[in-house]
Amino acid sequence: MVTVDNVLGLLNEKRRRYALYYLNEQDGAVPVEEVVDAVADMETDEGSSPRPGEKWNNVELSLHHNHLQKADEYDFIHYDSEAGVVELVESPTELDIILTVANVLERTN
């Protein structure tokens, strides 16, 4: 069951939010490396300036050890760390709407 607290908890962390924005635009499972690339690109657009390799490694570690594992606790997100893939499965309409609105708000600020 999707609750406001669940969705807001997922969106509470910027990297997890960016990963969810990206996954919401994909069809099916995507390699974690692809998600890492997308999140690193989104963060780089914000003006952060670590070296590219360092940025990518930081994003990969935080997604793998924290954000994707937390997201996997919900029925509509599947993270297979062994296969290195993640996907939104049967994403509830409420989540789609909130992700879309949050993404638009974030891009306009």
Q: 14-24 and 93-108 are packed helices; what angle lies between their axes, rounded to 10 degrees?
A: 120
Burial of 49 (0-12, 13-18, 19+ CB in 10 A): exposed
The pLDDT tens digits for 1-30 are 677 888 888 899 999 999 999 999 999 999
The model carries a pTM of 0.85
Q: Name which residue leads in pLDDT, 85 or 98.
A: 85
The domain that holds 31 is classified in CATH as 1.10.10
Question: Which residue range(s) make up the domain with 57?
Answer: 4-108
Question: Residue 31 — pLDDT band, cuts 50, 70, 90?
Answer: very high
| Distance (Å) of CA 63 to CA 45, 58, 69 | 18, 9, 8
Cα 1 to chain centroid, rounded: 20
- Rounded distance between C-alpha atoms, residue 18 and residue 55, angstroms: 15
Total structural domains within the chain: 1
Report the chain's C-alpha Rg in angstroms: 13
The pLDDT tens digits for 64-89 are 999 998 888 888 889 999 999 999 98
